[in-house]
Structure 1
Amino acid sequence: MRCHNSGLVTRNGARGKVHPIPLTEVSADVTWLDASIKVVLTQTYKNEEFKPLEVQYIFPMDDRAAVCNFVAEIDGRTILGKVKKRSEARDFYEEALKAGSTSFLVEEKTPEIFVANVGNLPAGRRASITISYVTQATMDEDALRFFLPTTIAPRYVPHGDNSEATKTIGAIEYSSFSPCPLKIHAIIETHQKALVKSPTHSIELLSKNMRSDVTKLFKTELALKGMSTDMDKDFVLLLKTPHQPRLILEKGSDSTIAAMVTMVPKFNMVETKLKHEFIYMIDRSGSMMCDKMEMAKEALLSFLKDMPRDSYFNIVSFGSNFSSLWKESQKYEEDGEYAVTQHVNEMEANLGGTDMHEPLVSIFKLKQPEGYARQIIVLTDGEVSNTEEIFSLVRDNCKVSKTRVFVLGIGNDVSHHLVNGIARAGNGAALFATLKESIKGKVQYLREFFLQPSLTSVEVTWAHSQAIPKPEMEEANGAIVTHKTLEGYGLPEVKKPERDCDLNVTDPCISVKNLPSILNGACYTAYCIYNNPEIIPVEIALSADSPDGRLEKAFPVKCEEVREGDIVHTLAARSIIRELEEELKETNLNKGDRLNKENIAIQLGIKYNIGSSLTSFVAVDEKGQMQEDAFIPRIVPSMMPKGYDGWRSGITPVKRTAHEKRIEPMYRTPRYTPRNGTYQAWTWLNTLTAPSGGSPLPHMTLEQIHERAARAGGVSGGARLPMFEMKCSRSKSKKPQVTTDLAEDEEKGKEDAT
């Protein structure tokens, strides 16, 4: 979802006039039930130009979400988007564009970045776009967490990364203003009374814990307080309510049944004596400046303070380059605690870009202390582009070693895709902390994960054919039989209910094959789609291997509680598609297997109306007036995240003066080339006011910037600054030095500026 200071704002040519397209309204309607959440985003635009436009805008997305609906409305006509194979959707859109029809295309570039194209938007007309997606709440300390992304922070682009996603990231332009209103409305239904709060925005409770006589659920309704323009930080909502293990059965419109099991496992194995090697990776790139860096240092000191005494540890700082406290991990000693604390306190966010790949390669090459399990804890804001390369590195190394990776994302604009992806690939857990949240609670919660073992070989007995006979446990002298479960030890055995289910479905069930590991205290969810009621068992069992043997949790099937809907179906289908996407990234797949997996993913996307890397949404207004004039391409700038300091490493944010409010400043994502130590950054300068009174580029005075802007053509039309190369100095200060390839006469520059 994007919101900018005058809606869709574009430029014409390298030095052309800026053309505003007002974004009159942005709204998000949230429906939250149990751990499942449905979000409906609506954006209304108006073309204020005199010719049709093709507008492209890039908007952020919850990386765990399944985009399941796309609707456009023009002149009272509703146009439903259809899911097609990615290449077919693109061809369909291009053909409609050439024919003069108003058309729409929504594509996934990464799981957290989507691109929408609105083609042949008629002059003087309004268009509203509605995008619906479903997602799942995550566990955060003692509350469920939901986040609504509103901004895309600039990404670090490493040398040689020429992927399609990287090209999209590199093309993002940035704005510093967003006066259009943002409206958020949420309805939350829980089985018990709940406490709701937001650590990022002010909210107003419209109703609180109102019990329904029909559903027997407690309903809470809320909205943003007043009118907000904060589209520069993600919206976070925390829901504190007792979380009980649940099995949810949902009947779809096609009579299929989708199942979801969810629980927060508790298996505190006090008798298990694990020995750990902790390697703390702390991000010290330019984007971590100020509050982020202070929070990261506080978190690191908290980790060190509560670290088990019989442990090895090391600290790795990374940015454009990386360094470690020691060559190899050292045994924890209280005598050296002061020196380590001093080392952390002296850290600054002065290491340039964010190269996470190379330090991970170095860590995985290190020999582990014998008998110790390695735990890598990463503290970062996650602003990189080569996510798939990092995921592959972590996944391949954690498969062959006793290593887990945990990530703490810090800030209001964290890349959730990177943070969640690293944790998933490293059999660990991810946690997030906005700038207004307490970091100590996050640290304590994350410690619960890595101080307990992961449960592996996870299975769910979804169908009768998967059921494994269990030895009967006889009761002696009427005593209650107890056993070990995922909820704890010594719990009474629950009698199995009789199955009585009459559902009209015919096809076999489908589910994810390779389930992730289970972590103590982390919310765990698994899905299945049933197309045949005869294979639904009396109970669905979740089980996994532990140091104490096999642990299990049974979920009795209660067919009278089946509800109608499509949220669980969509989440289940998206989980299967995501697994197929991961398998398609393997290089050793033969052509036949690859084609088969692609076809299954595409068929699931079309059947359940889900956008993915293989499928896209396309819509054409067939009843609208054909546009005879050639369309003008326009690009929507994204809003710069609040408090973003990455410009010190290559981004140049520039503010407007009061008399230039009609002009929209834009910024380009910098590309950092680590092999030759050069940043290449350029910007559109629309004002002579530097941020916070400082210089827009390091080591350049404001007067010099004005001179170069004036020589480039002045500021009235959005002048482009010449390309600057910021040489990363290898001196102790590590501050970038700016050079320019222009041999300019300073006196002439002053005259031009005047």
Structure 2
Amino acid sequence: MVNYGLLSQKNEPVPLKSISVEVRVQDHVATVSSTLQYVNEEERPLEALFVFPLPADAAVCHFSAKIGEQEIVAEVQERETARDRYDDAVSSGQQAFLLEESEESPDVFRLSVGCLSPGQSAAVTIIYVTELAVQADHSLRFCLPAVLNPRYTPAGSAAGIVSEISSGCGSVPYTLTLSVHVSSPKPISKLESSCTLDPLVFLHSDHTQATVNLSPGHMFDKDVELFVYYQDTHQPSAIVEAGVTTAPSGSLMRDPVVMISLYPEFPEEVMSSLATQGEFVFVMDRSASMSNTRIESAKDTLLLLLKSLPMGCYFNIYGFGSRFEFFYPKSVKYNQDTMDQALRRVKEMQADLGGTKILQPLKHIYSQPCYPDHPRQLFIFTDGEVKNTKEVLDLVKHHAHSHRCFSFGIGEGASTALITGMAREGSGHAQFITGTNRMQPKVMQSLRFALQPAVVNISVDWTLPDGITVDTLSPPINVLYQGQRSLIYGHLKGESSGGSEGTVTVKYSLKDQPVTNQLHFCLKPTEETGLAVHRLAARTLIRSLEQEERSGDRVVFGIWSSIMDKMKSRIVELSVQAGVSSVHTAFIAINKDSRQTVKGPLLQRRVPTYAPIPVPHSASDCWLSDEDYDYESPDIFDDGDYNDYDYESPADVYSDEERDVISKTEAVLFCQTESVGEKRAAPDPQKDLLLQLVSLQKASGCWELDATLADVFGKTEDELTNQKPAQVDGSVWATLLALIWLYGCKIEQQVEWQFVAMKAASWIGSQKVGDLSQCVCVGNVLLGCQVTKETLGI
């Protein structure tokens, strides 16, 4: 087991003893207060370092330390100034605390606790606010990240906070307590969690407030997920929050801020027909951390996706690790032959490509020309452990005009910044698959979004009383999906001359049809919101400015240098005024009453964050490049840090202009890799009956009447054939039986097979068969089901 960061030579006691978390959920926003209890159990002053994850879009807004009865509240300062003050304080024997965000990834923070005396304890409190993501079933997801996996760092890149991440084995040596309070104008239906909860307690008879606690004994060895269900949660809403009277006049924190939650409703006639065109590119993480059950689940998911694609579209499949491979030099047309070829290759896929290097395959995909009239849809599957997150997000944003990006975080510790960021910048949708969750339902929900008609010409207009204006702080809306929320933050300025209501109007075009959605809202500030909306609005604006700054960094010369300096100053000013974190600021707290003699350097201790790493069982299970592996002696590996090696594929070392020349060579190399994969592949696990049925479907949507299909139904081929009505042929009868079985026996998994069934029903309709009512009756009797012809959609 390899550890990273600042470590002693001895296995000393860890100073972090407990984490206590209080969560207040108010409608769509959560305020989270985490208190970390440190104790110095050593015989001399100690500096403790704790690298930990937070939700990617969280706005850290408070940081304090309590030593005995004395509380020291941190202030936000420019980053280098805060670091200098921390170093000066620690070197002079003063207790100091520094909290800073990673420059590489906004979901990773480092907490430095400096100059704790022997036997002394300190309680550090961090408060942040975050938006709650809406799930496909309309629940709101809150995640308390526990797992922080080592992030793959490309060779030659600068070391940052993420390079200090520890990898540990087993449970962490500190405990977690968690209490949750939920309040909303809408009644609360229920709360669910990936962890064991105590019973939900409603505080009012109208069920608008409730509390729940995490059951005792939780080891904090996995992310804690909570799903909040409200009644009518998909209704649009608005929160107007009052500002702070002591803030500078005209500033964001002084004036009211409005947060609009929109749920566009598409016309039913438009939604009844999904797209039949598109280029679908599936990008699968095949690094060693995807081994065993993860890669098998991914292969099952690719099977469902390939079977669900519409005839005539285009598709391709990429695999990436420390290098990348693809099935075809460019996307190919979807038909029976190409689908069969792809499925054979999917079956042979292994988690055998080393580290996690996602930037190069994305560059290769974006270098390929798009097909006219076939919008590119990118599906990216990864456990999300990369260091260059912001570089990846900038690349996706740069190509946002040419594609939509749907991202999936697999397993505990997937980077929320990477997964949600790729979806946001690529106008797609993000999903997280954790614990024992099945990957397939969430992926198929995203496929439904991808097949929805594209929304274009989106505009947002405000109608406000005379005397009031609004500055929209959120980036322009560039994507809308049926039933999915869009958040808009607005800075309200001025005084109303009498009106008390505002209106926000969203207009867009959908399949050449103009659509208008409107929301009327009261301008009177909502009570008991604190400053959560202001801080989230500030965080949204800061993120936009940081991205503009990174784009400008590539062309800094002449006047650009002055513009970039002004942009950095604006970020620092906004961060300090709002009291929220940014890449250019840090929280600093110093106990000026403490001072002790420091002889020699402080002991430095890393606090481990839970990071499960599978024990290698074979060459394909290790984070090693080909050059690390001795093929003559399979049990011998070169020593070294798996985060440091950097295997370059041809696509990494050649220029963009040279890639076209070598694309056919890469395709040959992939075929050669397949032959190696055949030697390494383990026997296929037993497929469930649904996947067996899906695997037998033809690209056109039909099934053949044979023994393998009969086996899925628990029948013999003769039993199916003998019951076949005379007026239909074998394929129509087989397809009809498959539909009856799906609706009659697997209705609870409909989200997984919905497109498979749609293709089947469409194919039956194209066969121009007469009345099928009698066939449905016979099929029901044969399979022991009770479904109607109308239910089957034929």
Q: TM-score, normalised by structure 1?
A: 0.76
1:237 counterpart residue number: 226
Matches within 5 A, 1:209-288: 210-211=203-204, 218-229=208-219, 231-241=220-230, 242-243=232-233, 244-254=235-245, 256-267=255-266, 269-270=270-271, 273=275, 275-288=277-290
Q: Separation in 1 of the partners of 2:472 and 2:619?
A: 48
Matches within 5 A, 1:106-505: 106-109=99-102, 110-142=105-137, 143-162=139-158, 164-165=160-161, 168-169=162-163, 172-208=166-202, 210-211=203-204, 218-229=208-219, 231-241=220-230, 242-243=232-233, 244-254=235-245, 256-267=255-266, 269-270=270-271, 273=275, 275-334=277-336, 337-399=339-401, 401=402, 403-456=403-456, 458-462=458-462, 464=464
Deviation at 1:294? 2.2
2:83 counterpart residue number: 90
1:555 counterpart residue number: 519
Deviation at 1:203? 1.3
Matches within 5 A, 1:714-753: 733=676
Deviation at 1:608? 1.1
Please tell me the residue identity of whatever aligns with 2:259.
M
Q: Separation in 2 of the partners of 1:527 and 1:638?
A: 37
Q: Separation in 2 of the partners of 1:236 and 1:161?
A: 33
3-state secondary structure, aligned to 1:259: strand
Alpha carbons of 1:562 and 1:197: their partners in 2 closer, same or farther (altered >3 Å)?
A: closer
Which of 94, 106, 114 is the matching residue for 1:101?
94
Identity across matched positions, percent: 28
Alpha carbons of 1:593 and 1:24: their partners in 2 closer, same or farther (altered >3 Å)?
A: same
Deviation at 1:722? 14
Please tell me the residue identity of whatever aligns with 1:227.
G
1:533 counterpart residue number: 495
Please tell me the residue identity of whatever aligns with 2:52.
F
Q: Separation in 1 of the partners of 2:367 and 2:646?
A: 32
Please tell me the residue identity of whatever aligns with 1:520.
Q
Larger deviation: 642-651 or 75-84? Answer: 642-651
Deviation at 1:81? 0.6
Contact 2:62–2:579 (CA under 8 A) maintained in structure 1:
yes
Deviation at 1:390? 1.7
Residue by residue over 1:418-460, the C-alpha shift from the partner in whole angstroms, topping out at 9 and shown as x without a partner, is: 1112122222221111131132321232122211244355443
Please tell me the residue identity of whatever aligns with 2:111.
A
Residue by residue over 1:190-210, the C-alpha shift from the partner in whole angstroms, topping out at 9 and shown as x without a partner, is: 3334344545311112404x4
Which of 511, 524, 534 is the matching residue for 1:569?
534
2:635 counterpart residue number: 699
3-state secondary structure, aligned to 2:12: strand
3-state secondary structure, aligned to 1:203: coil
1:70 counterpart residue number: 63
Q: Separation in 2 of the partners of 1:136 and 1:722?
A: 35
2:586 counterpart residue number: 616
Q: Separation in 2 of the partners of 1:562 and 1:332?
A: 53
Contact 2:151–2:643 (CA under 8 A) maintained in structure 1:
no
Residue by residue over 1:363-389, the C-alpha shift from the partner in whole angstroms, topping out at 9 and shown as x without a partner, is: 222232332111111111111112222
Contact 2:279–2:331 (CA under 8 A) maintained in structure 1:
yes
Deviation at 1:253? 3.1
Deviation at 1:29? 0.8
Larger deviation: 529-538 or 388-397? Answer: 529-538
Name the structure with the higher helix share. Answer: 2
Which of 569, 578, 590 is the matching residue for 2:543?
578
Please tell me the residue identity of whatever aligns with 1:240.
Y
Please tell me the residue identity of whatever aligns with 2:321.
G
Alpha carbons of 1:410 and 1:639: their partners in 2 closer, same or farther (altered >3 Å)?
A: same
Q: Separation in 2 of the partners of 1:410 and 1:698?
A: 29
3-state secondary structure, aligned to 1:158: coil
3-state secondary structure, aligned to 2:424: helix
2:748 counterpart residue number: none
Q: Separation in 2 of the partners of 1:79 and 1:598?
A: 28
Contact 1:286–1:351 (CA under 8 A) maintained in structure 2:
yes
Q: Separation in 2 of the partners of 1:648 and 1:117?
A: 38
Q: Separation in 2 of the partners of 1:520 and 1:320?
A: 37
Q: Separation in 1 of the partners of 2:68 and 2:262?
A: 47
Contact 2:27–2:183 (CA under 8 A) maintained in structure 1:
yes
Q: Separation in 2 of the partners of 1:93 and 1:735?
A: 56
Alpha carbons of 1:604 and 1:362: their partners in 2 closer, same or farther (altered >3 Å)?
A: same
Q: Separation in 1 of the partners of 2:307 and 2:329?
A: 22
Which of 473, 476, 480 is the matching residue for 1:518?
480
Deviation at 1:87? 1.4
3-state secondary structure, aligned to 1:18: coil
3-state secondary structure, aligned to 1:517: coil
Contact 2:166–2:611 (CA under 8 A) maintained in structure 1:
no
Residue by residue over 1:119-165, the C-alpha shift from the partner in whole angstroms, topping out at 9 and shown as x without a partner, is: 11111100010000000111111121111111211111123322535
1:25 counterpart residue number: 18
Alpha carbons of 1:722 and 1:29: their partners in 2 closer, same or farther (altered >3 Å)?
A: closer
Which of 607, 617, 641 is the matching residue for 2:611?
641
Alpha carbons of 1:358 and 1:538: their partners in 2 closer, same or farther (altered >3 Å)?
A: closer
1:602 counterpart residue number: 572
Contact 1:108–1:611 (CA under 8 A) maintained in structure 2:
yes
Q: Separation in 1 of the partners of 2:337 and 2:97?
A: 65
Please tell me the residue identity of whatever aligns with 2:109.
F
Please tell me the residue identity of whatever aligns with 1:460.
V
1:746 counterpart residue number: none
Alpha carbons of 1:21 and 1:616: their partners in 2 closer, same or farther (altered >3 Å)?
A: same
Alpha carbons of 1:345 and 1:39: their partners in 2 closer, same or farther (altered >3 Å)?
A: same
3-state secondary structure, aligned to 2:445: helix
Residue by residue over 1:627-670, the C-alpha shift from the partner in whole angstroms, topping out at 9 and shown as x without a partner, is: 44455231324334346468978999xxxxxxxxxxxxxxxxx8
Please tell me the residue identity of whatever aligns with 2:424.
R
Report the count of equivalent residues: 628
Alpha carbons of 1:397 and 1:347: their partners in 2 closer, same or farther (altered >3 Å)?
A: same
Please tell me the residue identity of whatever aligns with 1:326.
Y
Deviation at 1:521? 3.0
Please tell me the residue identity of whatever aligns with 2:575.
G
Q: Separation in 2 of the partners of 1:378 and 1:723?
A: 22
Alpha carbons of 1:355 and 1:201: their partners in 2 closer, same or farther (altered >3 Å)?
A: same
Q: Separation in 1 of the partners of 2:225 and 2:460?
A: 32
Q: TM-score, normalised by structure 2?
A: 0.72
Q: Separation in 2 of the partners of 1:645 and 1:443?
A: 28
Deviation at 1:278? 0.6
Contact 2:355–2:642 (CA under 8 A) maintained in structure 1:
no
